[in-house]
Structure 1
Amino acid sequence: MMRRVWRLAAPVAIGIAAGLAPASAGAGDVLRIGAPLAATGAEAREGALAKQGYDLWAETVNARGGLKVGAKSYRVEIIYYDDQSKPQISAELTDRLISQDHVSFLLGPYGSPATFADAAVAEKYRVPMVEANGAARKIFAQGYRYVFGVLSPADEYAASMLRAAATLVPRPQAVAILAADDLFSLEVANGARDWAEKNGLRVVYFQKYPVGVADLSAPLTRIKSLRPDILLGSGHLQESLLIMKQAQTLDVTVGLYAFTVGPTTPDFVTALGPAAEGVFASSQWTPDVKYRGPVFDTAAAYAKAFERKYGFVPDYHAAESSAAGVVLQLAVEKAQSVDPATVREALASLDVMTFYGPVRFNAQGLNDRKPMVTVQIQQGRVLTVWPRDVAAAKAIYPTPPWSARK
């Protein structure tokens, strides 16, 4: 059972989550970890999924006696602040977690902009941050030594979907790209354009839009007139919902709707109903992948543990967040120390397989070994359709016209 204590800390709320204390751990045997994470604002839903992943990891570790370091067992305690989906606030809270709450380590926020901001603070104080929700390569191009990302880089999000699309019959010939004007989404969109141009797929439209936009009818009307085979949206949950709702209203019919973030969350199908059918998405992880590792065993076992606790099948936001906790745990146990500098060295040399996939960091702190998968919504379920060796279903293509969706 998780213990949660909520109290106000102006200007935002702070929460502490910890699992049951192991019987062998004394009152002082607590490892405090900080996590500035969106509980309000545009990225609150994704932040909630990440928090569930962090909490499941902490609860699992503590129920098994805590983190083992020599003769000691440390109970994991995660201190949360709401960064309000704002990178500057996230950085300020990261500073507070280190300088006032005296956390030993950090788990990352949601989103590349916040992760980019927080990374500078972690580096300043030389506190290792293991992050799971900031995929932009720019984060890892700053020469930082204390930031480690478990997830595949941003350009893989679009590339995985386009690779899957290239196997379809008839092969798509043209793509239209819509991207939010933020660090992650633009990296994805630029990566999509580069992949398309190198692999014989014509980019007939490329447009960025402001973060938090409320109306995309103008670019969607233009896309309708161009009749591309693929409409690729690079943004987040609320933006993917907006595109699909307005595409339906405007009767924008393409062979394949593909999004970087949104369709894997339970909210997407709930919000759209039949309009979600056939939508593709890239995913860092699904329960179908064939990985096995410490703490959670297999991907399927992790999914069952998550569903028992939260009542729904996890998407990759939760899984990658739990994986960040696992990786930090493995580094602490490898180092046999909770000294930040010693654990940093253990992270840098880590080479492990987890339920989430392979983890080995390059010199920049990026996990460049882990592949991504492509999923499609079929009969209200998110199913893995590519690569074929882990696919749970065959991709349905082209997507039925709006008039055929019931």
Structure 2
Amino acid sequence: MAEFIPLDYATLRVIWWLLLGLLLVGFAVMDGFDLGVGALLPFVARTDPERRLVVNTVGPVWEGNQVWLVVGGGTAFAAFPALYAVSFSGFYLAMFLILFALILRPVGFKFRGKVADPRWRATWDWALFVGGAVPALVFGVAVGNVQLGVPFHFEPATLRPVYTGGFFALLNPYALVCGLVSLSLLVAHGAAALLVKTDGPVAVRAARYGGAAALVCAVLFVAAGAWISTALPGYRIDSAIDGGGLSNPLLKSVTAAPGLWLENYRAVPALWLAPVGAVAGMVLGAYFLYLGRGGPALVCTSMAVPATVLTFGFAVFPFLLPSSSLPDAGLTLWDASSSRLTLWVMLLVTALLLPIVMLYTAWVYRVLRGKVSADSLEENPNAY
């Protein structure tokens, strides 16, 4: 069967690493502003009509945006099953926390308007806040822990992953800084979206909070980059890489030392465009937010979000999940993937369906373009 597959194993592995990155970027950009709007809800809306206005800026689109997360999780499971197994074992409680927060979102959207009691609605408003702020924070904490490495190894005979860490160890100082980077960035992204979709006091407050969040994000991003580059461990593969070899993570040797996450940037200077673009997007986003110009601000935050994700991806390539307790057991795209046939069949399906999803998403946003106002909510019987 392999002779009928036109792409070699190494190429397919790189393609699926790129596709996984694309899905993560799609989730961060599309669902990121939903999370940011939820995190901003108690601060930018002070009356029930204002809160209803904020909720309805994302109410029609949040479910479609969250598809990017579902597809990303499915991709990790199908293309890199070892990554899925280790991460869901080691990050079990963190994943449960994220799922709990994400489950609150649909419940909050659906139940908030069912009863006209201020206490009832305030309860679900806080549920929407938790559903936005907690995932935004925890996703960043997870990224920080991936950079530091996670304590796990494999049993040599069965390749069964064994996680030796604990939940609270994940809440280390560097990971928490990364969590704040993620939270502040998505808050700024959500604020820009609110500025585009609303007018009046809500838009004014969103601009103020979003501009401050973007500047905080820029400072923390630079600080985290300096910290991980100089004082915290990075990882490097020392043995020869066989891109077409077996998916066995125990067939390589890895060195852990400070500064190694900069090696890809030293080898390919053009990669520096990612962190530079991230900082530029944050700073310019803050500038346009303070000016009250929603369109340019949203463009800038939509540039900063993928640039931040790419900064991380370029640094850790080809690692997917390093091991801090046994560096040689760290997972890379070369030794954690599914079979060549599986990757090829998945690529054919993705080539057919992904453009459909993207076209459908573009059509939905075109139909829903324009600002949300109190009058438009009164005219729409399906509004939340």
Instruction: Specify if TM > 0.5.
Output: no
Say which structure is richer in helix: 2
Which of structures 1 and 2 has the larger relative contact order (alpha carbons within 8 angstroms, sep 6+)? 2
Greater fraction strand: 1
